[in-house]
Structure 1
Amino acid sequence: MTKNIDRSLACTQIKILVERHFNNAECIVRDVSEAHAHHQSKRSLIRDTDTPTHIQITVKTTASINKSRVERDREIYILLDPFFQKGLHSAEIKFI
């Protein structure tokens, strides 16, 4: 029996963190964990946690216009550290 876990709260928390960090940003966070299930072992895929393993983040902001992509991504990865500690494995980040 597969346990249905709602990971939308974690995605909402990430959205709020990113939008607060980059003033006046619009952020979309998508849980894409299921699309990556094929390359994970069962042990790492089946987690009794509400944290997604793979996410896509799209950020629309002008606040980071003078920063390099590496600097912007690093800032987001610092924000995501608590989620990585709980099972997040990958974050695809896009600034528009």
Structure 2
Amino acid sequence: MPTKGEKLLEKLRRSKAGWHAKELKELYESFGFTVVAGKSHDIVKHPDYPQLRYTLPRHAKELPKSYASETLKIIEILLELETNEDSDE
């Protein structure tokens, strides 16, 4: 059975429209990212892959599609890095 993070990722792959910062934050956290609160934005970073970081605005309205697209790109890079790491062992 897919995890909540996997379900959110599938939803993101289907549509980039209609996402809120809270949902993207939940998606990032489900894949092991930490979220550090700033004044008006949250900094999202992965503890094992410091090159994977992003800034999310904290306002509650619907985010532009570019935030969803970039989130998908970052999580797919993470999955690829983890797959490569597993095959090296």
For the aligned pair, the TM-score class normalised by the smaller chain equals under 0.3
Q: Which has the higher helix share?
A: 2
- Please say which structure displays the higher CA radius of gyration: 1
Q: Structure 2 length as normaliser, TM-score?
A: 0.27
Q: Structure 1 length as normaliser, TM-score?
A: 0.25
Q: Which has the higher strand share?
A: 1
1 or 2 for the larger relative contact order (CA 8 Å, sep ≥6)?
1
